[in-house]
Amino acid sequence: MKNFVFKNATEIIFGKNSERFIGSKVKKYADKILFCYGGGSIKKSGLYDRVVDSLKENEVEFIELSGIKPNPRLEPVREGIKLCRENNIKFVLSVGGGSAADTAKAIAVGVPYEGDVWDFFIGKAKVKEALPIGVIITLPATGTESSNNSVIMNEEGWLKKGIATGYIRPTFSIMNPELTFTLPAYQTACGAADIMAHIMERYFTNIKNVDLTDRLCEAAMKTIINNVEIVLKDPENYDARAEIMWTGTIAHNDLLSTGRIGDWASHQIEHELSGQNDIAHGAGLAIIFPAWMKYVYTHDINRFVQFAVRVWNVELAYTSYEDIALEGIKKTKEFFQKIGLPVTLKEGNIDESKIEEMADKCTNNGTQRVGQFVKLNKEDVINILNLAK
């Protein structure tokens, strides 16, 4: 186990009707805020009205930034920065899924910065300050509600890049599983795949003697596996929704990273899929992860055997460790298929003619390697994308 420092200051307000606290929570930070959200789902569900009523009851003035899309774009971030500066706004509230929250985070770092906010995402500048952020999460997936990450897509060049800094951990996040009852089955499945991927990125590590976090990861994965099928059949099953929602937070609040070094190659490769093709992030991960596994499993076959046995209950009676490892990979792919996700580039309508272009972007024109479990060059990335056909 490696040395580590763990700190996560996000306050979690979890449970039924928890959004009723939003006005009083925001009031502690500001009297005037930017209110970010996506499409019309929060209005159809009545959440928008409940948030607005609570803000007004607590005399919190707000400016709205709506229409935030999945795979959040850079231009709304720039628009939000402009609104905050023009209206002297000192707090950003996000209501919706990970795209709204990532947009809010990018706005928060951009407001006090004199240059273009994209500088942070391309490594031209480092974040030194940010506005405080609050979140009401309606889609368990990205874990952004208590993470230090934000991912934004620049349509100029279709580049999808991320930043990681403690300045953008939300001050608080409100999480009511009831708000996820109306999610379409496909979005629920994409969220589950995203959560699974966050855990697997941490699970496949070269660091030894991390049994506690191994078992935490395994428990978290099994929780998703067991509960996503329940909610796909019974969308208003509160207990199963709650298990998924809380696991999504634990998967990406850094607890499962303690003492270990994760991989993250699959995420970097997937960013090119969703950047080039605008596929849902979770769906892209369902395509990439099994292909990545098949490409790298011989690097540490014991870890893949452990994954197969502990997570997928593969019997040790198989004739060889390799058979056990491959069965675990097979079951991972079958799980994604079973919950309705694409597991090949073809099923995801990914343009296979852009494989080399995606590998170029992923590896900065072949000058960088991606991943930590196995460091992958451009040719490796091409091979994984070809395995995913």
pLDDT value, residue 370: 98
Residue 27: name the closest of 64, 62, 58, 54 by CA. Answer: 58
pLDDT of amino acid 348: 96
Cβ atoms of 381 and 362 within 8 Å: the answer is yes
On whether the CB atoms of residues 135 and 47 are closer than 8 A, the answer is: no
Domain spans, the chain: 11-179, 185-387
Query: Which position has the token pair 């800094």?
Result: 165
| pTM for this predicted structure | 0.95
DSSP 8-state assignment for residue 166: G
Of 239, 135, 136, 251, which is closest to residue 191 (Cα–Cα)?
Answer: 251
Q: From first to last of its 389 residues, what are the pLDDT tens digits of the chain?
A: 999 999 999 999 999 999 999 999 999 999 999 999 998 889 999 999 999 999 999 999 999 999 999 899 999 999 999 999 999 999 999 999 999 999 999 999 999 999 999 999 999 999 999 999 999 999 999 999 999 999 999 999 889 999 999 999 999 999 999 999 999 999 999 999 999 999 999 999 999 999 999 999 999 999 999 999 999 999 999 999 999 999 999 999 999 999 999 999 999 999 999 988 889 999 999 999 999 999 999 999 999 999 999 999 999 877 799 999 999 999 999 999 999 999 999 999 999 999 999 999 999 999 999 999 999 999 999 999 999 99
Mind listing the pLDDT tens digit for each residue in 114-158? Answer: 999 999 999 999 999 999 999 999 999 999 999 999 999 999 988
Q: What's 106-150 look like in SS3?
A: HHHHHCCCCCCCHHHHCCCCCCCCCCCEEEEECCCCCCHHHCCEE
What is the structure's pLDDT at 317? 76
Q: Tell me the C-alpha distance between 86 and 181, whole Å.
A: 37
Alpha-carbon distance values, 113 to 74, 82, 88, 140 (Å): 15, 12, 14, 30
CATH of domain 11-179: 3.40.50.1970
| pLDDT number for residue 276 | 86
- Please tell me whether residue 151 adopts helix, strand or coil conformation: strand
Dihedral sign of CA atoms 361, 366, 368, 371 in order: positive
What is the second-level CATH architecture of the domain 185-387? Up-down Bundle (1.20)
